[in-house]
Amino acid sequence: MLIIFDVEGVLLNAEYLPILAQVFGPSKEKEIWDITKQGIRGDIDWEEGLRKRVNALKGIKFDDAKLIAENLEIMPGAKDLCLALKDAGWKMIAVSGGFTIITDRLKKELGLDLIFSNELIFKNGLLDDLDLKVTSDKSLVVRPIIKRWGFKKDEIVVVVDGANDIKLFDIAGYTVGFCPVELVKNKADDVVELRNLSLLKNLLEKRFGKWILKANLKKINSNA
């Protein structure tokens, strides 16, 4: 089995750029939040919105960006769920419209097999640009891996929250909206409404049977 997670709002209990914008003060934070929410809802072109947000934050120091990235909260329940899935032999991928500066740590902390994300470009220690590797069609970056690993559609689970994740649903046999926007909620097979990823265990058990998580079920229950 293969599970594919979005990052911000799913594996991380935060949206990075609005928090980063706090360096410039409340008005900049509001500006970035407004654009972020429009992109998550699908109200604006996602790539355009991302570039607009990065451009608005040019000049932020790398040290500030790194410190904030390292202190973003892991989603409650994420570590226990990922441990259980790994013990049960699942492959785990994260696909983020965010950046390596926030995703690199997750491979080690959550035991993920692969992470795909974009990259912030710093010049002379200051934020300058964006290297866009993951577009609004996130399925494009994972399709080659799925083919290489030999997974069929009914062996793939996708867990996301935003409209920019929706094309991942095309490659999955089972889709879950995690505290999602309305568009995702309407299209997902199931929805988790509370910000605790351990609740996903119950949906996976219902869909695939208790055997699918094998070890650590009691541990997840005790931490839910």
Closest CA to 222 of 125, 84, 99: 84
Domain boundary, last residue among 70, 88, 104? 70
Per the structure, the count of domains in the chain is: 2
pLDDT in tens, the chain (224 residues): 999 999 999 999 998 999 999 888 888 888 888 888 887 777 878 888 889 999 999 999 999 999 999 999 999 999 999 998 998 889 999 999 999 999 999 998 999 999 999 999 999 999 999 999 998 899 999 999 999 999 999 999 999 998 889 999 999 999 999 999 999 999 999 999 999 999 998 899 888 876 555 544 444 444 44
Closest CA to 77 of 224, 212, 206: 224
Domain boundary, last residue among 24, 52, 70? 70
Tokens representing 1? 């089995």
- Give the whole-angstrom CA distance, residue 54 versus residue 101: 14
Do 48 and 133 fall within a single domain?
Answer: no
Closest CA to 12 of 86, 156, 91, 110: 110
Do 60 and 122 fall within a single domain?
Answer: no
Tokens representing 25? 């003060």
Do 152 and 97 fall within a single domain?
Answer: yes
CA 121 to chain centre: 20
Domain boundary, last residue among 55, 70, 85? 70
Place of tokens 């290489």: 148
Do 138 and 83 fall within a single domain?
Answer: yes
The CA R_g of the chain, rounded to the nearest whole Å, is 17
pTM score of the predicted model: 0.88
Domain assignment of residue 209, given as a range: 2-13+74-223
Question: CA geometry: angle at 96 spanning 45 and 145, to 5°?
Answer: 110
Q: Is 138 helix (H, G, I), strand (E, B) or coil?
A: coil
Do 132 and 198 fall within a single domain?
Answer: yes
Do 104 and 124 fall within a single domain?
Answer: yes
- Give the whole-angstrom CA distance, residue 98 versus residue 123: 19
Q: Is 48 helix (H, G, I), strand (E, B) or coil?
A: helix
What pLDDT score was predicted for residue 40?
Answer: 74
Closest CA to 108 of 149, 70, 134: 70
Do 59 and 153 fall within a single domain?
Answer: no
Do 132 and 203 fall within a single domain?
Answer: yes
Place of tokens 């470009």: 121
Do 6 and 106 fall within a single domain?
Answer: yes
Domain at 107, CATH number:
3.40.50.1000
Do 126 and 32 fall within a single domain?
Answer: no
Residues β-bridged to residue 114: 93
Do 61 and 171 fall within a single domain?
Answer: no
Torsion-angle region of 26 (φ positive above 0: left; ψ -120 to 50: alpha; else: beta)? alpha
Do 54 and 151 fall within a single domain?
Answer: no
Tokens representing 166? 């929706």
What pLDDT score was predicted for residue 149?
Answer: 96
The DSSP 8-state label assigned to residue 175 in this structure reads E
